[in-house]
Structure 1
Amino acid sequence: MIPPVLYPYQLRYLRDPAKFKAAMFARQTGKTFTTTLEIVNHVLEGMAAGKPARWTIMSISKARALDAMDNGVKLHLQAYKTAFKAVEVDLGGDDLAFEVRLPGGSRIRAIAANATTARGMTENLFLDEFAFHKDSRAIWTALLPVVSRPELMLRIASTPNGKNNKFYKIMADNDGLFSRHTTDIYQAVADGMPRDIEMLRKAMKDPAAWAQEFECRFVDGGAAWLSFDIIGACESASAGNPALYAGQPCAVGMDIARRGDLTVITVLENIFGLWIAREIIELQNVKFSDQMAELARVMRQYRVVCAAIDQTGMGEKFVEDAKDLFGKERVAGILFTGPAKLNMATALKEAMEDRKLLIPVSVELRGDLHSVKRVQGASGAPRLVADRSEVEGSHADRFWSLALAVLASAGEVVDFSLCASAGTTAGAALNDYESTDRGWGTVTRVANGY
């Protein structure tokens, strides 16, 4: 019952009859497709022998569960010209089971994984993308008594996701319990899968992500200040678009550079307590006067309550000039001492862990945020370092700009539009800028080309 469309690495995995089997495949190499084929084969063979079989697929989300059914289970059943009934079963709350029912009592269903649901299982199990399951250890604890029954099988398939999950433990242990299969992108291509490895590597632009997603290496996220999980949970397609600015108070962070590294200006808008990155401006090898012009544009365009600017080294005079232009109350100069950097990074991490921050979906930003590591200093005190090799053309500049913006957001948010004198005060603070009666962020240029 094996259609002749599989590559050798898929056939090796498919033909392995082990009770406990784990597959670590590179991205988009067919791990779910192959495992759902094995499930369908097992069910149909059981039906032919008069032995009904039941399987549950536990996916990372409802959308992925539905995809496993539509582009896996149903596809294979249709290829075998097998009749089935597809239903959706309400499991309570927001939980749904996508199910196919076959003659004789056999059933295959797919659900979003959680430990509570797992405790009620009495059937064969497939943990799809297990490394990405929330609370994977709790799910494993709940499932182990189920699959310990001699007649039941367990299938686990995933791409690596760091070392802080149960999938890493399963793949790393040499316990004789699991039959383990690993297929990186190189093996998949060698076995005939048509992929341009160099094109994929260049498109990824992130060595750590490439190592994990395509080379099947467990990248140790323990040293990374922000894990890919934390970063990914804060990414949103609605962030990074200035056109969506809603006119609410903003916080700005500016990491300064002159040669080599980036100057990055990050604008966060406060929408009911959620800080959304409305704009991230990157400047490289740009004169300080032009950098000030860009900051002035930001201060005009947005209602900026506070701008936190890197005052270290070359930033000293820049911060002084910014305070003269925009007011000492609105500009804070931050010296990048060890303790200050740790405090800023901690505030950023907490904001992201608490899902109080939305950032654009960007390979460069993701890599920059992940590039900062926590290491132990010679004195035993922790310090933060950035790996220049992780993101081309940046030394965590986007990270520190975002951290500065989060620091700026920590102050009391004042709605200056409620103050009749806001425009006049702004004009006094900005000296050579016109005053207005429309509040912060609407001051227009007079003299300096800003």
Structure 2
Amino acid sequence: MSAVQPALPLYPYQRRWVLDDARFKIAMFARQCGKTFTSTLELALDCARAEALGQRRRWVILSRGERQAREAMNEGVKLHLAALSAGFKAYDYDWEPGIKALEVELPGGSKITALPANPDTARGFSANVLLDEFAFHQDSRAIWKALFPVISKPGLKLRVISTPNGKGNKFYDLMTGADDGWSRHTTDIYQAVADGLPRNIEELRKGAGDDDLWAQEFELKWLDEASAWLPFELITACEHEAAGKPEHYQGGPCFVGVDIASRNDLFVIWVFELVGDVLWVREIIERRRITFAEQDMLLDGVFRRYRVIRACMDQTGMGEKPVEDAQRRHGSSRVQGVLFTSSAKLELATRGKEGFEDRKLRIPEGRNDLRADLHKLKKVTGATGVPRFVADSDSNGHADRTWACFLAQHAAAGGQTPIEFTAAPSLPRGFDNLGAADDEAEDHLALIEPRSTW
């Protein structure tokens, strides 16, 4: 811990943060408790100290977006440096920072820059870093992968601050780690008030009028279990070590869900085999940025390897042609297109969740990417009261596996389809002289399309 005391009066929780000189430091602060003010104060003091010693410091603030980057600069860095500049002048020290919109450069060459965060900006510098509201950064894991090697140079520091935003992001991983060299700080509204912050807790809680808002923004609770459509408890309860392995296929009836890819989203084929009354995952095929021809080949392979009774495919938008082509190849009674309207998604998600709740599914064990995908789907209610389902898009996908899973369950919901056919007439004696008559007769029978009775 540094022995330098800040000149500004700070609450104890703010002093604890500013004076903690750990190389890797992370904190959760309740809303409106001064986390940006506090974290940018450390940056300003560090640069001013370096200037006094004839050294240079380089700090980069990565914020959720440009607006947040501007706020960090205007409401934090510039405010502190203006106060420090006045202090220097009081001691007859000629010091005035040069200030641009999102960058400050001190006379001795130290700099503080604020930028919107993305994987590209995270790679483009070598500096000390402050990740501001990191739980809300889009694609936080990709940003982290790009960023961490940048601060690997000895002596560079990393600061991470945020309020919680569920468990599906890198901030949660960092904040809940242990014995990994990180210094962790947590200041909820109760601790802040106990340390002297003037807030009326009961008045704020009643005024919020939303238990989830209060729990997350002020009590710093991880709310995924309340807001996620599929809580981790449901997901892990359906995991099995034998699921997801094609070699365990027993030859039973199979039901398939296909989520059509859109640019960087995943193309997913989900295969269930019905064993007794339980749907076992036999295979999950995932590809990114492949052609429609390659998608068709993968689906045809599934129909060859498994006894597919029914396949449901996302027919929305670009899915129209893949569905039409699959119906032509495999029969319209075995391939059904599903338009992702609000009502259809509600039906799919409701049936999908019931499968997890009833423990009628077996999914692969220990796949963190699959868990995260299934867990990221959230049900929200719009201004009109109509429920809809949303999921953040990141490097792990856009809940593509989840919708493929739900489509496969939808395919299974109709039960097994009786195969009806009309026997081919007997072939005249001698027909085989025309060449390969037996093979042609078998091919003819194989092409007879089963007719669904549901």
Tell me the TM-score normalized by structure 1: 0.51
Match of 2:142 among 138, 155, 159: 138
Q: Is the 8 A contact 2:381 2:387 kept in 1?
A: no
Match of 1:211 among 206, 211, 215: 215
Letter of the 1:206 partner, please give it.
Answer: D
Offset of residue 117 of structure 1: 1.0
Q: Is the 8 A contact 1:21 1:180 kept in 2?
A: yes
Say whether 1:42 aligns with 2:46: yes
Say whether 1:28 aligns with 2:28: no
Say whether 1:173 aligns with 2:177: yes
Q: Deviations over 1:78-104 (max 9, x none)?
A: 11125111124xxxxxxxxx1011112
Letter of the 1:46 partner, please give it.
Answer: A
Match of 1:347 among 325, 345, 348: 345
Match of 2:358 among 370, 378, 385: 378
- Residue 84 of structure 1 corresponds to 97
SS at match of 1:80: helix
Aligned residues: 252
Q: Is the 8 A contact 1:225 1:374 kept in 2?
A: no
- Residue 202 of structure 1 corresponds to 206
Q: Please list, as runs of the form range in 1=range in 2, the aligned pairs for 1:20-419 lying within 5 A after superposition.
A: 20-81=24-85, 82-88=95-101, 98-220=102-224, 224-225=228-229, 344=342, 347=345, 376-378=356-358, 380=360, 401-403=385-387
Gaps of 5+ in 2: 86-94, 232-337, 363-379, 389-454
CA 1:17–1:398: 2 relative to 1, 3 Å = closer
Gaps of 5+ in 1: 89-97, 228-339, 351-372, 383-395, 405-450
- Residue 326 of structure 1 corresponds to none
CA 1:198–1:150: 2 relative to 1, 3 Å = same
Partners in 2 of 1:401 and 1:149 — Cα distance? 52
Q: Is the 8 A contact 1:226 1:349 kept in 2?
A: no
SS at match of 1:177: coil
Offset of residue 348 of structure 1: 6.5
Offset of residue 379 of structure 1: 5.5
Offset of residue 177 of structure 1: 1.8
Q: Is the 8 A contact 1:223 1:374 kept in 2?
A: no
SS at match of 2:203: helix
Q: Which range moved further: 153-162 or 3-12?
A: 3-12
CA 1:398–1:20: 2 relative to 1, 3 Å = closer
Partners in 2 of 1:205 and 1:17 — Cα distance? 39
CA 1:378–1:147: 2 relative to 1, 3 Å = same
Q: Is the 8 A contact 1:59 1:129 kept in 2?
A: yes
Q: Is the 8 A contact 1:59 1:112 kept in 2?
A: yes
Offset of residue 209 of structure 1: 1.9
SS at match of 2:45: helix
Divergent runs of 4+, >6 A: 396-400
Partners in 2 of 1:226 and 1:75 — Cα distance? 44
Q: Which has the larger radius of gyration?
A: 2
Offset of residue 122 of structure 1: 0.2
Letter of the 2:356 partner, please give it.
Answer: Q
Partners in 2 of 1:80 and 1:173 — Cα distance? 36
Q: Deviations over 1:250-302 (max 9, x none)?
A: xxxxxxxxxxxxxxxxxxxxxxxxxxxxxxxxxxxxxxxxxxxxxxxxxxxxx
Q: Deviations over 1:388-429 (max 9, x none)?
A: xxxxxxxx987995149xxxxxxxxxxxxxxxxxxxxxxxxx
Partners in 1 of 2:157 and 2:11 — Cα distance? 24
Partners in 2 of 1:80 and 1:53 — Cα distance? 16
Partners in 1 of 2:168 and 2:140 — Cα distance? 10
SS at match of 2:108: helix
- Residue 296 of structure 1 corresponds to none
CA 1:225–1:76: 2 relative to 1, 3 Å = same
CA 1:345–1:165: 2 relative to 1, 3 Å = farther
Partners in 2 of 1:39 and 1:20 — Cα distance? 14
Q: Is the 8 A contact 1:7 1:192 kept in 2?
A: yes
- Residue 322 of structure 2 corresponds to none
CA 1:68–1:348: 2 relative to 1, 3 Å = farther
Letter of the 1:55 partner, please give it.
Answer: W
Q: Is the 8 A contact 1:27 1:213 kept in 2?
A: yes
Letter of the 1:380 partner, please give it.
Answer: K
Letter of the 2:357 partner, please give it.
Answer: G
Partners in 2 of 1:55 and 1:15 — Cα distance? 17
Offset of residue 378 of structure 1: 2.1
Q: Deviations over 1:232-253 (max 9, x none)?
A: xxxxxxxxxxxxxxxxxxxxxx
SS at match of 1:23: strand
SS at match of 2:100: strand
CA 1:206–1:102: 2 relative to 1, 3 Å = same
CA 1:346–1:186: 2 relative to 1, 3 Å = farther
SS at match of 1:105: coil
- Residue 15 of structure 2 corresponds to 11
% identical aligned pairs: 50
CA 1:39–1:403: 2 relative to 1, 3 Å = closer
Partners in 1 of 2:60 and 2:178 — Cα distance? 27
SS at match of 1:21: strand
CA 1:7–1:346: 2 relative to 1, 3 Å = farther
Q: Deviations over 1:183-212 (max 9, x none)?
A: 000000000001111111112222122111
Letter of the 2:98 partner, please give it.
Answer: K
Letter of the 2:54 partner, please give it.
Answer: G
CA 1:403–1:37: 2 relative to 1, 3 Å = closer
SS at match of 1:201: helix
CA RMSD of aligned residues (A): 3.5
Tell me the TM-score normalized by structure 2: 0.51
Offset of residue 110 of structure 1: 0.4
